[in-house]
């Protein structure tokens, strides 16, 4: 099944892993680690991480930076996908409202990911 990333996948977990490529790319691009005392690492108990504007995105990125292996449970991948959808749905300061049938990469990805989650929510 061809995806936005142009790859073919043969399994549900492979498809979800492919879907996670786009939010990984977006978050890596958006999060500014230049002032990070952990150089982009995330530590839940660290006070600076807890108060950082990029905390949520940084936490997600550190949990999902590497491509998932085939043995990662589907429910973990679906959770990561759901969190990525929630993050990408949040309005950005530099972004104007998108029309309902917007064809930008983010809107296309969101439609694909939300559709997948809707049809596979019972499989986790």
pLDDT (tens digit per residue) in 69-85 = 878 888 899 999 999 99
Residue among 73, 86, 87, 96 at smallest CA distance from 30: 87
Band of pLDDT at residue 121, cut at 50, 70 and 90: confident
Which structural domain range is residue 67 located in? Answer: 12-123
Q: How distant is the alpha carbon of residue 24 from its chain centre?
A: 5
Residue 116 resides in a domain: yes
Q: How many domains does the chain have?
A: 1
Residue 42 resides in a domain: yes
CB 52 within 8 A of CB 58: yes
pTM for the full model? 0.78
């Amino acid at each position: 099944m061809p995806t936005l990333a142009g790859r073919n996948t043969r399994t549900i977990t492979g498809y979800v892993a492919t879907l996670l490529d786009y939010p990984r790319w977006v978050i890596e691009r958006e999060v500014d680690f230049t002032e990070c005392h952990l150089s982009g690492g995330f530590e839940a108990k660290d006070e600076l991480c807890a108060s950082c504007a990029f905390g949520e995105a940084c936490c997600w990125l550190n949990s999902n930076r590497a491509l998932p292996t085939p043995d990662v449970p589907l429910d973990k991948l679906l959770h990561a996908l759901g969190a990525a959808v929630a993050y990408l749905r949040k309005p950005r300061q530099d972004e104007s409202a998108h029309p309902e049938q917007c064809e930008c990469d983010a809107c296309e990805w969101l439609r694909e990911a939300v559709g997948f989650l809707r049809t596979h929510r019972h499989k986790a």
